[in-house]
Amino acid sequence: MIRYLTAGESHGPQLTGIIEGIPAGLPITEDEIALHLARRQKGYGRGGRMAFEKDKAEILSGVRFGKTMGTPIALQLPNRAFEKDDTGWPKVMNKEGDGEDVDPITVPRPGHADLIGVQKYRYDDIRPAIERSSARETAMRVGLSAIARKLLKHFGIEIGGHIIRIGSVGYEDEWGDVRDLVDPMMKDGAETIFRAADESPVRCLDEDLSEKMREEIKKWRKEGSSLGGYWEVVLTGVPAGLGSFVHWDRKLEGQLAQAIMGTQAMKGVEIGLGFEAGRRPGHEVHDEITHEEGEFRRRTNRLGGFEGGVTTGMPIIIRGVMKPIPTMLTPLKTVDMNTKEEMDTRYERSDVCALPRAVVVIENVIAPVIANAFLEKFGGDSVEEIEEHYNAFKENKKR
């Protein structure tokens, strides 16, 4: 099965990643990975680092003549800011003994992993916690997951995301209005959604809302604060029967939630109607079943493509919330770890609103989860073998 591991620090020389479980024979290029890395770096409200970091991952192993070999695939992603940042981090990393002249950071920022990192690992400097907990790590996750995403696309499964709300600005009816806009686009595949959203600086499909969201970001930038919001990601082409209702840890909804909640700054996730389902009576929540053109279907998709933790064959609809970034120009109150004196937080370069970039991360980190469920049902060691299994499944459905 597919699994991956990342290594590296925000201001270190590079990010490194290995993904295994990708079957042999999948065409993949560095440019296809670079597409989603570039998308991750775009979006109104971004910080200064994005101006000079141009992420391009290099494939080091596992791919020969443009196709996967079924062996582990290694990527490296240089940090172009490594020599440019005056953080003390390069000095600390390079040689034993270097960094002795770098003053430790002892003032933790509320909302970051600063204090709990020191408490957990007994650092005498917050920097190691800052470096590894940084969302910079998601660049490698996007790179690795883009390979799993290519596998899904090979079998007709597409992923696309967009922004529903930033701060106080969002759709008036965040279920109905969004469905009226997005559902017709799904007929052409979910990638039409992300491509349309990418035309907006805030990745919102509604032009008027996009401008209002930009103004909201400008407003809070002037106030020295930050913003979060809501996103939606949809998947089309997902066959029925992925996941399991037999054991709790095999429920695909739960696995998706883990991947999403394991992403920096995410504070909630829902499938389909999600929390709205708790406010509606049952007849307005569950999807009636029909039998049309030789197959079972649902009249609606309020449950977001799942029943019992298993895919229904309807598009998967996932929504989530990202908190505002805790690094802000206007300081918060904190306490120096050494002196125990109350003081203001120090400012680190940061985005005002990272949500337009974060939705790209979510699109990608869910790809290995869906790919694993797909391989569990139709798996093989090569793309060719999987095609045989999947085509047989589709033929049996017609009978």
Contact by Cβ (8 Å): 206, 171 = yes
**Interatomic CA distance for residues 373 and 2, integer angstroms:** 10
This prediction's pTM:
0.93
**Tens-place pLDDT, residues 128-175:** 999 999 999 999 999 999 999 999 999 999 999 999 999 999 999 999
- Domain 3-397 in CATH 3.60.150.10? The answer is yes
With a cut of 50, say whether residue 92 has pLDDT above it: no
Q: Is the pLDDT of residue 85 over 90?
A: no
Residues 6+ apart with CB under 8 A from 396: none
The fraction of the chain above a pLDDT of 90, given in percent, is 82
Q: Using one digit for the tens of pLDDT, what is the confidence trace for 197-231? A: 999 999 999 999 999 999 999 999 999 999 999 99
Contacts 24+ apart (CB under 8 A), 380-385: 380/23, 381/23, 381/24, 381/70, 382/23, 382/24, 382/25, 382/70, 383/23, 383/24, 383/25, 383/26, 383/151, 383/154, 384/25, 385/23
- For 231-281, the DSSP string reads EEEEEESPPTT-B-SSSGGG-HHHHHHHHHHTSTTEEEEEETTGGGGGGS-
Domain segments of the chain as ranges = 3-397
* pLDDT the model gives residue 171: 98
Q: Tell me phi and psi for residue 230, to 5 degrees.
A: -115, 145
Backbone angles phi, psi at 208, to 5 degrees: -65, -45
Crossing angle of the two packed helices 355-365 and 138-154, in degrees rounded to 10: 50
